């Protein structure tokens, strides 16, 4: 009996040694750190708070990517504008927040390769006279401040359009529509459609307009020149290639993703 115990102890120790050897060899001998990820958790189903927890497709995705890259991960809700301050000031390593890759943002930040195809869409009360983007002209519109929705509406109807109301987060923009303060909200299609589906009592509908709203791709936002970019790009591609991405996509959106369109962008 004693012998058996000794053998199992030896085996146990050998196993633990093996485990730790694996751990270090993977990171080339040095400890890989825990990355600080910031988000604006007010954009369901991508990032939102549920019983005090930050959840959503983006959150599952960024965790899978960072794990794949061999780092630890800690996600924190800081809000939309602070994301850009933190990434620029390098107080955070990564931001995930349905952030569209745009040439303007690329001047000040780096992005990983794209991981999601999106476009803007209009949210209106059912039966609204707004049937396309051109019907937004002269109407009161709510957007989240500093998003692509704001840029698009400003490009269409002027930068000093006093009918455009800008909110700190998208939930406040939708609340304004609910309260009758505006005629429409412009935001990312998945967010708009999820809201319509989950809030039937609000009696909202969504309006697509492929001529006014172009394809957009989300990327993970990184400080300019971030040394993590190579590792994270590789990990994003891996997570897309190994089926993890499709699994998460189905979990959150109930449909298969078109991964080819992402690969064509890589």
Q: Report in angstroms how near the CB of residue 139 gets to ligand ARG at its nearest.
A: 20
Q: Given the complex with ligand ARG, which of 105 and 178 has the nearer CB atom? A: 105
Q: Determine the interface stretch with ligand ARG among 3-11, 18-26, 95-103, 241-249 (rule: CB under 6 A).
A: 95-103
Cα(123)–Cα(192) distance, integer angstroms: 6
Q: Give SS3 for 207.
A: strand
Task: Answer whether 192's CB lies under 8 Å from 206's CB.
Answer: yes
First CA to last CA across the chain, in angstroms? 60
What is the DSSP pairing of strand 34-39 with strand 72-77? Answer: parallel
Restricting to residues 138-157, which ones interact with ligand ARG according to CB under 6 A?
144, 147-148
| Piece of the chain touching ligand ARG by CB under 6 A; list 27-35, 86-94, 97-105, 175-183 | 97-105
For ligand ARG, the binding residue among 35, 92, 100, 152 (CB under 6 A) is: 100
- Return the H-helix or E-strand segment holding 34: strand 34-39
> From the list 97, 190, 194, 226, which residue makes contact with ligand ARG (rule: CB under 6 A)?
97
In whole angstroms, give the CA distance from residue 3 to residue 53: 49
Q: Quote the tokens at residue 63.
A: 């965790």
Q: Does the protein bind ligand ARG through residue 188 (CB under 6 A)?
A: yes
Tally: H helices and E strands in the chain: 10, 15
Nearer to ligand ARG, 69 or 99 (CB): 99
- Tokens 């009360």 correspond to what residue? 125
Closer residue to ligand ARG in complex, CB, 47/86: 47
Which CB, 118 or 231, lies closer to ligand ARG? 118
Q: Please report whether residue 194 would count as binding ligand ARG according to CB under 6 A.
A: no
The span from the CA of 197 to the CA of 77, in Å, is: 25
Q: List Cβ neighbours of 63 (8 Å cut-off, separation of 6 or more).
A: 73, 75
Query: Is residue 170 a contact point for ligand ARG (CB under 6 A)?
Result: yes
Of 73 and 99, the one with the shorter C-beta distance to ligand ARG is 99
By rule CB under 6 A, what string of x and - marks binding of each residue 3-42 to ligand ARG?
-------------------------------------x-x
Q: Is 26 helix (H, G, I), strand (E, B) or coil?
A: helix
Task: Verify cis geometry, omega within 30 degrees of 0, for the bond prior to 93.
Answer: no
Q: Which of 35, 43, 116, 212 contacts ligand ARG by CB under 6 A?
A: 43
Residues that bind ligand ARG (CB under 6 A): 40, 42-43, 47, 80, 97-100, 144, 147-148, 170, 188
């Amino acid at each position: 009996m004693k012998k058996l115990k000794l053998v199992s102890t030896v085996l146990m120790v050998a196993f633990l040694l093996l485990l730790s050897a694996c751990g270090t060899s993977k990171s080339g001998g040095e400890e890989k750190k825990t990355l600080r990820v910031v988000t604006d958790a007010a954009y369901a189903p991508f990032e939102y708070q549920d019983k005090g927890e930050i959840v959503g497709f983006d959150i599952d995705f960024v965790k899978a990517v960072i794990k794949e890259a061999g780092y630890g991960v800690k996600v924190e809700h800081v809000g939309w504008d602070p994301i850009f301050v933190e990434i620029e000031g390098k107080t955070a390593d990564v931001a995930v927040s349905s952030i569209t890759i745009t040439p303007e943002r690329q001047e000040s930040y780096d992005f990983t390769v794209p991981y999601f195809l999106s476009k803007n869409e209009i949210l209106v009360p059912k039966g609204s006279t707004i049937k396309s983007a051109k019907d937004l002209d002269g109407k009161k519109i709510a957007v989240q401040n500093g998003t692509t929705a704001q840029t698009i509406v400003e490009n269409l109807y002027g930068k000093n359009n006093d009918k455009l109301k800008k909110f700190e987060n998208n939930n406040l923009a939708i609340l304004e529509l609910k309260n009758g303060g505006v005629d429409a909200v412009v935001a990312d299609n998945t967010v708009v459609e999820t809201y319509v589906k989950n809030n039937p009592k609000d009696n909202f509908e969504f309006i697509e307009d492929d001529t006014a709203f172009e394809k957009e791709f989300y990327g993970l936002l990184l400080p300019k020149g971030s040394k993590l970019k190579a590792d994270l790009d590789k990990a994003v591609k891996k997570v897309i290639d190994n089926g993890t991405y499709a699994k998460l996509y189905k979990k959150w959106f109930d449909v298969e993703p078109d991964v080819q369109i992402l690969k064509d962008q890589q």
